[in-house]
Amino acid sequence: MPFVRVSYSEEKYNKKELSLISQGILNSLIEDFNIPPKDYFQIFNSHKKEEIYYDEDYLINGNRTEGVLYIQITCGSGRTKEQKKSLYRNIAHKLFTNCKIPKENVFIILIETELENWSFGEGLAQMIK
């Protein structure tokens, strides 16, 4: 049940690249978090260059560029640290392989929440048994 928000600098990525980014994130979530393929909820937001701030090399060996992607994944809790680390690696690898996005530009934050905090529509809490 991940909900994904991706923020990026406008005009840095075209429609095809955004679709590949979306699919790379989804496929990584399927592989590492074992989500169903239809559990696909993502929003992409472009921002003006002057609305995106980052340090070029904080906690990484290379340099971030204007092509930095902020990927925020909200999901249910319960994944292991190894699953999370694998997810981060997998997303960065897929985005580099499919879109040539440098791994240094893939900034991911994972936010975990309990199942009762989700409604997928119809005013129902589908995840509560």
Q: In what order do the strands lie in the sheet with 41-47?
A: 41-47, 3-9, 69-76, 106-113
124: left (phi over 0), alpha (psi -120 to 50) or beta: beta
Alpha carbons 95 and 25: distance in angstroms, whole number: 8
Structure tokens belonging to residue 14: 């075209």
Question: Torsions phi, psi of 31, nearest 5?
Answer: -70, -45
Q: Is 36 one of the annotated active-site residues of the chain?
A: no
> Which residue in 2, 36, 37, 102 is the catalytic one?
2
Give the residue numbers annotated as catalytic, written as ranges.
Answer: 2
